[in-house]
């Protein structure tokens, strides 16, 4: 079950890229495409999130690269739904990627804070509280190191009152969407509130360049979790009707929950997530309890070896460890039983603690 609101796999092998590509009908990001990015951007290597397959599929990324090669203006759009004032590692990944892509492509970034979405869909807090959570999240987003001359962060409930094209484009999008399309895409029931029908159109607005005063032929790139793809499949349909360029989309796999790869890290479940304000002691405790690919006993582990594909700590290393060589050595030793689960988790703790500590320092 993978929707913008529910993410759950059948077993601990989690969300394999091939399964997700088949489910969503997207296009794999292959080595030819990665090599093309390196050639266009004149770099020798790419961020581990790209080179190790965390970013694994796309829609029209090749056309986005065509625009860059031709010297055309492009921009990046991403967002954050503030369900809590505390962001966790899973929230950090797309912003790390977006910041990297901003540096790589040297383009503007627009970040939408959807306080209205969380109020309409979850409704556990007042609208003002969700807006306040959004402002706290913005601090964490800024701490990722974006180029602030080329980065524009806006909160939905605040931008709607400004004199710009946001509302104009919202009206046009709604004119070109049918209720049946939205119902089918987001599984909306008769008893759901009207906002659930309205909000998808709102999330589509930043994908149109005219929203921000640019020409309608400026293409947008949207990095997002694969569970958010339904929004942007509809955007691409609407763009054709509005005679605007379809946005390009790249999809990331999920950073797994501490409980296992069958679910993603969740802000509403303390036991599933490592928060950006957790202490080193708490991070160590959480990682030591994380779902393991190790065997039941030391003897069996040495004999059969570990299973990195289902090991949560190893999956975190795939996202956050910089050295490809060190990662391959760890995977090889763990698979052969030459490295214990405890040793693997110790390495993971050190890396995650360093990332969280650096983020805390950037907040200052």
Residues 252 and 282 in one domain: no
Query: Which CATH number covers residue 286?
Result: 1.10.240.10
Residues 234 and 287 in one domain: no
| Residue 45 included in any domain | yes
Residues 304 and 198 in one domain: no
DSSP assignment string, 38-86: HHHHT-S---HHHHTTSEEEEESHHHHHHHHHTT--EEEEEEE--S-S-
User: Can you give the pTM of this predicted structure?
Assistant: 0.87
Whether the per-residue pLDDT at 163 is higher than 60: the answer is no
Q: Which domain holds residue 348?
A: 278-363
| Residue 268 included in any domain | no
pLDDT in tens, 22-44: 878 899 999 999 999 999 999 99
Residues 245 and 295 in one domain: no
Length of the chain: 364
Residues 313 and 181 in one domain: no
For tokens 């009206």, name the residue: 171
Residues 305 and 234 in one domain: no
Quick one: pLDDT at residue 265? 86
Chain center to CA of 62: 20
Residues 67 and 170 in one domain: yes
**Structural domain count, the chain:** 2
Quick one: pLDDT at residue 351? 96
Residues 159 and 124 in one domain: yes
Residues 300 and 195 in one domain: no
C-alpha to C-alpha distance for 60 and 227, rounded to whole angstroms: 18
C-alpha to C-alpha distance for 200 and 192, rounded to whole angstroms: 14
Residues 239 and 283 in one domain: no
| Residue 239 included in any domain | yes
- With bands split at pLDDT 50, 70 and 90, how would you rate the model's confidence at 18? confident
Residues 233 and 319 in one domain: no
Average pLDDT, the chain: 90
Residue range 56-70: mean pLDDT, rounded: 96
Contacts of 166 (CB under 8 A, 6+ apart): 159, 160, 205, 211
Residue range 183-201: mean pLDDT, rounded: 89
Domain end among 193, 225, 257: 257
Phi-psi category of residue 337: left, alpha or beta, with phi > 0 → left and psi -120 to 50 → alpha:
left
Residues 250 and 286 in one domain: no
| Residue 12 included in any domain | no
| Residue 269 included in any domain | no
- The full 3-state SS of 194-235, as one line of letters, equals HHHHHHHHHHHHHHCHHHHCCCCCCEEEEEEEHHHHHHHHHH
Query: Which CATH number covers residue 235?
Result: 3.40.50.620
DSSP letter (8 states) at residue 272: G
């Amino acid at each position: 079950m993978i929707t913008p609101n529910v993410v759950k796999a059948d077993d601990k092998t989690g969300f394999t890229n091939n399964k997700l590509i088949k489910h969503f009908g997207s296009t794999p990001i292959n080595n030819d495409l990665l090599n093309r990015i390196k050639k266009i951007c004149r770099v020798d290597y790419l961020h581990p999130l790209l080179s190790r397959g965390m970013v694994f599929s796309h829609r029209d990324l090749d056309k986005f690269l065509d625009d860059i090669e031709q010297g055309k203006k492009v921009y990046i759009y991403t967002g954050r739904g503030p369900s809590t004032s505390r962001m966790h590692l899973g929230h950090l990944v797309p912003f790390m990627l977006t910041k990297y892509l901003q540096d790589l492509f040297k383009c503007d970034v627009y970040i939408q804070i959807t306080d209205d979405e969380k109020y309409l869909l979850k409704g556990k807090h007042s609208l003002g509280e969700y807006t306040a959570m959004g402002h706290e999240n913005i601090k964490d987003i800024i701490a990722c190191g974006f180029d602030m001359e080329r980065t524009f962060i806006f909160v939905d409930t605040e931008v709607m009152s400004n004199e710009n094209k946001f509302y104009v484009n919202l009206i046009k999008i709604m004119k070109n969407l049918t209720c049946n399309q939205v119902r089918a895409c987001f599984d909306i029931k008769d008893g759901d509130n009207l906002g659930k029908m309205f909000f998808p159109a709102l999330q589509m607005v930043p994908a149109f360049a005219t929203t921000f005063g640019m020409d309608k032929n400026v293409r947008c790139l949207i990095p997002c979790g694969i569970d958010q793809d339904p929004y942007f499949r509809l955007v691409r349909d609407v763009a054709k009707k509005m005679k605007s360029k379809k946005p390009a989309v790249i999809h990331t796999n999920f950073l797994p929950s501490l409980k296992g790869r069958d679910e993603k890290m969740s802000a509403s479940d303390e036991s599933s997530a490592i928060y950006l304000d957790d202490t080193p002691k708490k991070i160590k405790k959480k990682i030591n309890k994380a779902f393991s690919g190790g065997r039941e006993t030391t003897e069996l582990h040495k004999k059969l070896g570990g299973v990195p594909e289902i090991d949560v700590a190893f999956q975190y290393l795939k996202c956050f460890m910089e050295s490809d060589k060190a990662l391959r050595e760890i995977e090889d030793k763990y698979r052969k039983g030459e490295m214990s689960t405890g040793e693997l988790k110790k390495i993971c703790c050190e890396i995650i603690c360093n990332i969280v500590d650096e983020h805390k320092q950037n907040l200052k």
